[in-house]
Amino acid sequence: MNPLRPVILAASASPRMKRIVTGTPVTAEIVRRFVAGAGRDELIPVVRELLASRRLISVDFLGENTTDRAQADATLAEYLSLINDLAAMNGFRDATARTEVSVKLSALGQALPADGPAIATENLRILCTKAAQVGVWVTVDAEDHTSTEATLTTVREVRAEFPWLGAVLQAYLHRTEADCRELSGSRIRLCKGAYREPHTVAYQRSAEVTDSYLRCLEILMGGDGYPMVATHDPVLIRAAEQLAAETGRGPDRFECQMLYGIRDPEQLRLAAAGNAVRVYVPYGSQWYGYLTRRLAERPANLTFFLRALVSKS
């Protein structure tokens, strides 16, 4: 792994570092390299532009680790309003919904005392009900490994009513290969993983994570579900294209996913070639945790941010 990764991920969990970074007069355009805006008024023009470029979108309202019921209810209300806004721009590319929302169960109340998992499950069911009415997809985001089992338990329960519900699996976790086998008939977003995890549950070396991703990808491509290949790694993108050809998957039976603000020319190239390409678009004021994880993934992102910080401060 890049030696800066554990340092940056440690900073993502540091309240002191958060106060320093968020308190610095960094101009909006710096953060907006990776975040579409603070509210839906800024988000919607970004979404329209992406859809006009033949790309698909998955929108994440930033926020996690909610410990207050009122905040969980507010997050649910924001997602319901977001789905309404996306519905006006929705449609299908073959059998693939053009618009999707991504949601963390911790943002819906999973960590609330006593009945948190039940609250998050019910809130997710409400979201899916609304999304199904207007043809918008929903995918449940992954968080750190301590929440993985609870998250997948909720996904299994809600999928009984909404079988199209997507889930995210992280290839760096030791358990993910087995999870892919169990869920290979579902809509699964496979990513490398973005949290700081101990060696007891996660691969630590980049080559090990890549190898795990390839094993997991082969399982998903060989299954009956809908693989969502979330990576910027050219090696893994080529592997996905090859596996799709070998398993007879057309562009309506899998998709590539990339983050907003990263490798935009490659996104456009893949879309122009007829591939389904979905862009993960975050918005909201709670951008610090998301941004630091993106910086940890690619040192080039950190260089960009620091240069901008120095020049604009």
Q: Which residues are catalytic?
A: 141, 189
Which DSSP string corresponds to 48-114? HHHHHTT-EEEEEE-------HHHHHHHHHHHHHHHHHHHTT--EETTEESEEEEE-GGGGTTTSTT
Contacts 24+ apart (CB under 8 A), 287-290: 287/31, 287/34, 287/35, 287/62, 288/12, 288/18, 288/21, 288/22, 289/12, 289/62, 289/64, 290/34, 290/35, 290/60, 290/62
Alpha-carbon distance of 274 to 156, in angstroms, equals 32
> Which residue, among 86, 188, 70, has the nearest Cα to 123 in the 3D structure?
70
Eight-class DSSP state of 285: S
